[in-house]
Amino acid sequence: EIVLTQSPGTLSLSPGERATLSCRASQGVSSAYLAWYQQKPGQAPSLLIFAASRRATGIPDRFSGSGSGTDFTLSISRLEPEDFAVYYCHQYGTSPITFGQGTRLEI
């Protein structure tokens, strides 16, 4: 199975700063099938980015995704207070479908 390793495990930043989250795959992932989710306490994950770089409906443009092959990145250009949460990457192109272990973005 494809193992997704996210780094860092925890990222401590302040509102207004830029966040860069990494997701590295153990083997190549088609960009068409790489997504990022945001999860806040007590809630389900919510889709942010799909196909590596496409924002889901209603997602502000401060969120952007990039990458290909085995290295993918989620960037948040100017952190808002509501952005502090846990972020997961997800590959859904190769069975079994797998998720990264998450990056906690904290103030």
How many angstroms separate the Cα of 7 from the Cα of each of 42, 87, 101?
23, 10, 9
Residue 47-86 contact track with other proteins, rule CB under 8 A, x = bound = x--x-----xx----------------------------x
Q: Which residues does 7 contact at the CB level (< 8 Å), separation at least 6?
A: 21, 22, 24, 103
Shorter beta-carbon distance to other proteins: residue 77 or 94: 94
Dihedrals φ, ψ of 66, to 5°? -155, 175
Shorter beta-carbon distance to other proteins: residue 58 or 81: 58
Shorter beta-carbon distance to other proteins: residue 31 or 77: 31
- Residues near other proteins (CB under 8 A) are 1, 32-33, 35, 43-47, 50, 56-57, 86, 88, 90, 92, 95-99, 101-102
